[in-house]
Amino acid sequence: MRLFRLALPVMALLAASPVAAQDREGTDHPLLPRYEGATIIQYRDGSLDEILIPTAAVNDENQAKGEALEGRVTHLDYRVTPAASPLTMARHYEAVLAANGFETVFSCSGQNDCGRSMDALISNSGKVAPVGFSDAVFSERVRVVVARRQADWILVRVDEAPDRSLIYTAIIEDSHPAR
């Protein structure tokens, strides 16, 4: 009985202590290392697929301007807890992309700049992320970066909620225009 009374506070302490976040199955893409502190919440390995990469503000997801591509597409969805600034995350990715020879084709911040339907296009339309794949908060704090290096394209969307930040990435390798 005495041992149980001593063990009870220890068990309560262990239950209350934070557990390190664990990645779901998946791995970072070699063209785009993860933002520090991010954990993978969804992963879809590269396979031949079609994707629409927005290159302008999106106010109607059915009339989005962009590049309709075919290529080897890898999707990654990350969570950062506690929340990080979308500006900080976007600048991180812009620097990583530039250092790896990518040219920014399009970037935007907030609904005025990105359009009121950018998050819906990326997360819900099935034209960018697979339906139900990308976690999004549809906030004014959204930022999108699209970059290209020859036939490789990368799309990064960052969002911020009160308790977490979300990062969705699509990496398209060996792309060509969709038929």
* Better-predicted residue by pLDDT, 138 or 10: 138
Q: Tell me the C-alpha distance between 1 and 36, whole Å.
A: 46
- pLDDT, mean of residues 44-68: 96
Residue 21's pLDDT is what?
58
Residue 97's pLDDT is what?
97
Q: Is the pLDDT of residue 10 over 50?
A: no
pLDDT band per the 50, 70, 90 thresholds, residue 20 = very low
> Could you tell me the residue ranges of all domains in the chain?
22-177
- pLDDT, mean of residues 102-127: 95
CB–CB of 110/132 below 8 Å? Answer: no
% of the chain beyond a pLDDT of 70 = 88
Q: Is the pLDDT of residue 15 over 90?
A: no
CB–CB of 148/172 below 8 Å? Answer: no
- pLDDT, mean of residues 142-161: 96
pLDDT band per the 50, 70, 90 thresholds, residue 13 = very low
* Better-predicted residue by pLDDT, 177 or 8: 177
